[in-house]
Chains A and B, each alone.
Chain A
Amino acid sequence: MMPTGLEAIASTDLPPLTRQRPRALWAAAAVIGLAVLLPAGVNQYWMQIGTLAFVYWVLIAGLDLIIGYAGQLAVGFVGLLAIGAYTASILCEKASWPAFAALAAAGAAGALFGFLVGLPSLRLKGFYFAMTTLGFSTIVTQVALGWERLTGGGIGLPGPMFPAPLDSPVGFYYLALGMALLATYLLRNVAFSNFGRGLVAVRDAEVAAEAMGVPITRLKLVTFTLSGILAGMAGALFAARQTYITPDAFTFDLSVLFFIMVLIGGRGRIVGPMIGTLILTLLPEIAAPLVMWSNFLYAVLLLLVVLIVPGGIAAFLERLFVKTAKGEGLDAPAPERLNAVLGQHASPKVLTLQGVALHFGGVRALDGVDVAVRPGTVHGLIGPNGSGKTTLLNAVSGFYAANSGRIVFGEADLAARPSADRAALGIARTFQTPRVVGNLSVLENAMLGAYRQFTTSFPAVALGSRHGVIEDRAIRQRAADALAAVGLRRLAHLRAEQLQHTEQRFLEIARCLVMQPSILLLDEPAAGLSHDEIEHLQALIEHIRSLGVAILLVEHHADLVFQVSDEVTVLDVGRVLAHGAPAEVRINPEVINAYLGA
């Protein structure tokens, strides 16, 4: 998604938006030009194939958001196409609505049912959700078949007729092209925005997304609604193109075909699915025998894509055209950049745990723990196996609920709040195993930290709001500063999955910094780090502390903890064994015993 060009490392580390993808813009212009000129060059048959591809693309653009970005396996999307087609056709035929009004109504119907289809996705995953969407599209077809008075039953009814000159094949071609361009515009705006990043984060690293305060429910539902609008409108166009619709135009096979178009193109991409749509629409037309075998071929293609090239055409192209440099290692950190990131961080708050207890079944993971972390200090938390360190972190960040005791941050009692609220309260955390979004760039990962601070609404972003663009730039700059601060400046445009494990740890920290937190919870950040990298980490922690952020450092690396902490708490079997200045704790004989096992 991001350019890899090293020319992006200019004085501000950021490519100005207009220069961002020069090659891509020229290519897009060329393709659009070709599409506009097509009717002049080919006969009507091929033009109508083009029209079909555009109509499909209107639906696929929306489906790309659902399957590609949100990662929901909506296998039965043809139901929405059918709803749009029947809505428009019924309104035109039975209520004599004008075609464009019917088109809008189809979009509205699609919005409603898209939302409804999205609801189960909140509770059901994977296979179960896929099966639900299949069931949905089966019902739609059955209702269309059975409700004869409205839909004409098996006989069907005529599709909407657009006013001249759009009712001619050429005219309709341009209408479809126009709609396809609109769909692309909407898709592109959402995909490249905060919401696009949020969707991918929910898809690939849901726990991390939650920790950053991404409102998962709202985001999924609004995405399904938009996709529903597009699918509904595609349905109306489809009905117009076919001029007559019956229930068996909307088969299970068509549904799977749509699904494959997205996947073959590549998830989380735009151009790939576009190419996929084109190829798969053309495939049965190219060779007559293929018509019969086309569904079989789609299935084989799907299998091959999943097993061999999971990233689809887009990944394949990327491998050809784009240099994939492996992580080149960290830079020297630039701590002065931290001021730019954290300069306006939230008001200082104290984190207090009082008598916190947590048990799983019979095991008391935390047994009455008191800890206080003050702003501008580093509080180290150490302890042997099973002592409860990570459990404590998880309790503070809201993934576990304490059974008794209080956890207070500033004025807020955390017990009542869900984990997604933590980010809003200024609590940022890293994870024992780095949870970065592999398919996003390093820079985009860092930008996720500021998700909650993005105020432009989803519809405004989809329509290309200037305000959204400005906000995006500001967050982008802050993220670039954070990356420079931790030493990842040179790697900003790589995909996060290309980073080494240790670099991913620093990326998590950068992401937290972008959130401008009041407290930073670090979960074993030094695991797997080399000696130099640990020094780097130590310097970073000290700079963050100097800017007034509180830091709770859970670690096994005793050296690091004792050198950087202002206070140390030692946990053992869920209780505080010792607490105080590092020097005292280090020589405490009970602590030594606890580590070595009695």
Chain B
Amino acid sequence: MPTLAPERDGALLMASDLSAGYGAIRVLQQVNLSVRAGQVVALVGPNGAGKSTLLKALSGMIPKTSGTVSFGGQDITRLTTQACGRLGLVHVIEGHRVLPSLTVEENLLLAALDQPASARRARVEEAYRVFPEIAEKRHLGAGSLSGGQQQMLVIAQGIVRQPRLLLLDEPSAGLAPVLIARVLEVVAAFRTKGTAVLLVEQAVEKALHIADRVYVLVHGRIVLATDAQSARAPGVLERAYLGAAQPS
């Protein structure tokens, strides 16, 4: 494992002038964003703004057209997703995409594939402690779990990988309110463990309760970057989302 240089300006993850897209379509335009160690940062914005695209660009799942990304002081702009994962930048993609024909246990063991065989069991047990709900289903097919349980499973997969920073893409999408609370509780707990989180969320209010900072992404650009407290002031988010124009 390469030794990582000390973080510049205390930022664990830093994106500078990042642009990315799909083929001819430019989705992200010169995004600047940073996350410090142990911070929970929320990334919000209207649908189609490019939030998932941003996470994918950060973790190397889609190529970047320009700009740089650094993690722990190291330039990761050209690294593959798997390499980023080994450095501690773990991406939990949206849609609670478990591997349906494998068991819950296999899903978790696979997340630990690049760790030594002896350590895998310990990692998996750690994840079960955080989510006892899926521990009792460990030998069932992941496809038979409910949406909420699958979401817990993919986050558990993230935990198994011992991340330094977790990219979470819409963990509460499609979940019942009580499960949303559960998931966000786990996310908030990451901070105490020293794991940073960059969280994309539709449930803006709830996200702001657990976040330290928030970025608002509209049409591929960051239109607002501030601490969570200020973002909760009335009208601030509305203006960012719906535009400043007030029809007469």
Stretch at the interface among A333-341, A467-475, A590-598: A590-598
A399 contacts the other chain (Cβ, under 8 Å)? no
CB distance from B243 to the nearest CB of A (A): 5
A592 to B243, CA, bound (A): 12
B121 contacts the other chain (Cβ, under 8 Å)? no
Nearest chain B residue, comparing its CB with the CB of A383: B47
Supposing A592-B238, A596-B238 touch, asked if A528 and B245 sit within 8 A by C-beta, the answer is: no
Residues of B within 8 A of A528 (CB): 25-27, 219-220
CB distance from A570 to the nearest CB of B (A): 12
Q: Are A501 and B247 in contact (CB under 8 A)?
A: no
CB distance from B1 to the nearest CB of A (A): 37
Q: Are B202 and A597 in contact (CB under 8 A)?
A: yes
Residues of A within 8 A of B242 (CB): 558, 586, 592, 595
B248 contacts the other chain (Cβ, under 8 Å)? yes
Residues of B within 8 A of A597 (CB): 201-205
Q: Are A596 and B248 in contact (CB under 8 A)?
A: no
CB distance from A240 to the nearest CB of B (A): 50
A562 to B248, CA, bound (A): 10
Q: Are A596 and B204 in contact (CB under 8 A)?
A: yes
Residues of A within 8 A of B48 (CB): 524, 527, 556
Q: Are B46 and A556 in contact (CB under 8 A)?
A: yes
- 17 residue pairs A–B, Cβ–Cβ below 8 Å: A384-B46, A385-B202, A524-B48, A527-B48, A528-B25, A528-B27, A528-B219, A528-B220, A558-B243, A558-B245, A563-B247, A582-B247, A583-B247, A586-B246, A592-B238, A596-B205, A596-B237
Q: Are B24 and A500 in contact (CB under 8 A)?
A: yes
Residues of B within 8 A of A96 (CB): none
B-binding residues in A (CB < 8 A):
384-386, 433, 500-501, 504, 524, 527-528, 556-559, 562-563, 582-583, 586, 592, 595-598
Residues of B within 8 A of A527 (CB): 48, 219
Residues of B within 8 A of A385 (CB): 46-47, 202
Nearest chain A residue, comparing its CB with the CB of B207: A597
B131 contacts the other chain (Cβ, under 8 Å)? no
Which of B205, B220, B241, B243 makes the CB contact (< 8 A) with A598? B205
Nearest chain B residue, comparing its CB with the CB of A592: B238
CB distance from A535 to the nearest CB of B (A): 13
Q: Are B26 and A595 in contact (CB under 8 A)?
A: no
CB distance from B84 to the nearest CB of A (A): 27
Q: Are B25 and A501 in contact (CB under 8 A)?
A: yes
Most buried by B among A500, A527, A528: A528
Supposing A528-B219, A583-B248 touch, asked if A501 and B47 sit within 8 A by C-beta, the answer is: no
CB distance from A310 to the nearest CB of B (A): 15
Residues of A within 8 A of B205 (CB): 596-598
Residues of A within 8 A of B203 (CB): 597-598
A186 to B17, CA, bound (A): 54
Which of B219, B220, B241, B245 makes the CB contact (< 8 A) with A596? B241
Known contacts A558-B245, A595-B242, A596-B238; 17 additional CB pairs below 8 A are A384-B202, A385-B46, A385-B202, A433-B25, A501-B26, A524-B48, A527-B219, A528-B25, A559-B243, A562-B247, A563-B247, A582-B247, A583-B247, A583-B248, A586-B242, A595-B238, A597-B204
Nearest chain A residue, comparing its CB with the CB of B147: A362
Q: Are B247 and A556 in contact (CB under 8 A)?
A: no
A7 to B201, CA, bound (A): 54
State the 10 A-B residue pairs at the shortest beta-carbon distance, nearest first.
A385-B47, A559-B243, A597-B204, A558-B242, A501-B24, A583-B247, A559-B245, A597-B203, A597-B202, A562-B247
CB distance from A215 to the nearest CB of B (A): 29
A528 to B242, CA, bound (A): 16
A595 to B24, CA, bound (A): 28
Nearest chain B residue, comparing its CB with the CB of A500: B24
A596 to B214, CA, bound (A): 14
- Binary interface encoding of chain B residues 1-36 relative to chain A, with 1 for a CB under 8 A from any of its CBs, else 0: 000000000000000000000001111000000000
Nearest chain A residue, comparing its CB with the CB of B204: A597
Q: Are B25 and A595 in contact (CB under 8 A)?
A: no
Nearest chain B residue, comparing its CB with the CB of A499: B24
CB distance from A596 to the nearest CB of B (A): 5
Nearest chain A residue, comparing its CB with the CB of B220: A528
Residues of A within 8 A of B27 (CB): 528
CB distance from A392 to the nearest CB of B (A): 15
A386 to B24, CA, bound (A): 25
CB distance from B158 to the nearest CB of A (A): 23
Residues of A within 8 A of B24 (CB): 500-501, 504
A527 to B24, CA, bound (A): 13
Residues of A within 8 A of B204 (CB): 596-597
A556 to B243, CA, bound (A): 11
Q: Are B237 and A556 in contact (CB under 8 A)?
A: no
Residues of A within 8 A of B220 (CB): 528
Which of B201, B241, B246, B248 makes the CB contact (< 8 A) with A595? B241
CB distance from B180 to the nearest CB of A (A): 11
- Binary interface encoding of chain B residues 219-248 relative to chain A, with 1 for a CB under 8 A from any of its CBs, else 0: 110000000000000000110011101111
**Of residues 166 to 203 in B, which have CB atoms within 8 Å of A's CB atoms?**
201-203
CB distance from B214 to the nearest CB of A (A): 12
A586 to B238, CA, bound (A): 11
CB distance from A444 to the nearest CB of B (A): 19
Residues of A within 8 A of B248 (CB): 583
CB distance from B247 to the nearest CB of A (A): 5
CB distance from A301 to the nearest CB of B (A): 28
CB distance from B95 to the nearest CB of A (A): 12
A596 to B235, CA, bound (A): 11
Nearest chain B residue, comparing its CB with the CB of A385: B47
